[in-house]
Amino acid sequence: MGAIPKILAFAGSTRKESFNKKLVAVAVSGARAAGAQTTLIDLRDYPLPLFDQDLEQEHGLPENAVKLKELMVAHDGLLISSPEYNSSISGVLKNAIDWVSRKGDPDEPGLAAFQGKVAAIMGASPGGLGGMRGLVHLRSILGNIGVLVIPSQKAISKAFSAFAEDGSLVESRQQRAVEALGAEVARIVSKLKD
């Protein structure tokens, strides 16, 4: 592997015991095993007001939007685990994407935090589809703002019984598939950086 890929990982949930926080941590282990430098964050640590253009014009980007944007700009790839809320993505995730997509400086290139990034998406849900409907929306949003979302994805259904006490997935096949998402992003980013 050439240049060390830098990957930012997070879940679109702020719940302490979020299934999606556990899931993205599994993908992170796969990325690390493939040689990536990873940063796992919790959106709970970056609270943001609802996106409001009047608020933005009056005060600029909120401090946490600036911090998130700086993190995304500093990384080459993304691992995002998204819960499904009413057949779409969570408000927390959409709001973070909306704020980070804004220009903090008029001379900054548009969508600087997203364009050219490589991402893997995944989801976990207590339901039978594992959050699959939300992943369709997330893929569309990310693709439209310049993120290369890899074709592989994973949706874990019946999430209340899918995880072991240590946070790993009970089914080894699922564990390997989610780890492979992290490894694939690391490999693609490494090739693009060479």
CA dihedral 64, 32, 6, 173 (to 10 degrees): -80
Tokens of 97: 């994407």
Give the residues of the chain that fall short of pLDDT 70. Answer: 1-2
CA dihedral 4, 38, 136, 126 (to 10 degrees): 150
Per-residue CA distances from 106 to 10, 60, 103, 181 (Å): 28, 11, 6, 35
**What integer pLDDT is reported at residue 2 of this predicted model?**
64
As a whole number of angstroms, the distance between CA 132 and CA 189 comes to 25
* Topology classification of domain 6-193: Rossmann fold (3.40.50)
**What integer pLDDT is reported at residue 109 of this predicted model?**
76
Give the CA angle between residues 164, 165, 171 to the nearest 5°: 10
As a whole number of angstroms, the distance between CA 66 and CA 103 comes to 10
